[in-house]
Amino acid sequence: MRKQIAAANWKMNLTYQQGEQLLDDILRAEITLSDDQQAIFAVPFPYLLMAKNELTGSKNYFASAQNCYNKKAGAFTGEVSAEMIQSLGINYCVIGHSERREYFNESNQVLAEKVNLCLDNKITPIFCCGEPLQVREAGTQNSFVEVQLRESLFHLSAEQLQQIVIAYEPIWAIGTGKTATTEQAQEMHAYLRTILADQYGKDIADTISILYGGSVKANNANELFGSPDVDGGLVGGASLIAADFIQIIKSLK
């Protein structure tokens, strides 16, 4: 069975102390995850070691970086490399979140470079894709997202692709309170899996976890995650509230 993943994206929120308390509150719920379930916490860079230490000893709970730079090393003041992240013992990194694409103009080519560096450093990329509202309204979301995958992932071998987690984010549903219907989410996830199957074969495509990211909440996670091609969620605002994210973790199938 594919990994079922509840991934928290804290974005640029919480102080160190608040983040520590949030993790304490979530871990206090003592949710036992099965071998095919994971809870991943993408925290700001200054909190990575704290999160790793908090989660150590809890089976299938992991810390993740929210980003890395697309160069191996060098005179890039303020940037963080995949190698630096790996040296902390962090094995996950969010790549290509819509906010990175929009605010920092990250291209599909830049994201391909980041994916390569993560894999070179044995870091699992959580690769984000998704369409803005105008694309959805024009009905061209399938081709838009297909280009994102082709230009950033399809240079990979089948073995490398199996190390990727994909997160589909309808950009129009992030932080807006709007949520794609369960049918819309399932439809896009199934389409993404078809694209992967066309390129790599159905057996490979069926091993790739595809998360939904777009206003996942405690009260809709169970329905969303119940869809056959939705393998969990990349959760923003609701991951900052212990009771909500606990419920979201419990909603994994």
**What pLDDT score does 177 carry?**
66
**What pLDDT score does 214 carry?**
82
Match 């940037």 to its residue by tokens.
79
**What pLDDT score does 225 carry?**
96
pLDDT digits (tens, 9 = 90+) for 79-92: 999 999 999 999 99
Catalytic residue among 106, 131, 169, 189: 169
Torsion angle, alpha carbons of 134, 125, 63, 107, to 10: -40
Residue in 35, 216, 192 with CA at minimum distance from that of residue 225:
216
Tokens of 5: 């993943």
Q: Quote the pTM value.
A: 0.96
Query: Which residue type does 123 have?
Result: I
Q: Annotated catalytic, 97?
A: yes
Strand order in the sheet with 92-95: 61-64, 37-42, 4-9, 232-235, 210-212, 165-168, 124-129, 92-95
**What pLDDT score does 171 carry?**
87
The pLDDT of residue 137 is above 90? no
Superfamily of domain 4-250: Aldolase class I (3.20.20.70)
Q: Annotated catalytic, 169?
A: yes
Distances (CA, A) of 66 to 69, 124, 138: 11, 12, 30
Query: Which residue type does 133 have?
Result: L
pLDDT digits (tens, 9 = 90+) for 194-249: 999 999 999 999 999 999 998 899 999 999 999 999 999 999 999 999 999 999 99
Catalytic residue among 97, 106, 131, 189: 97
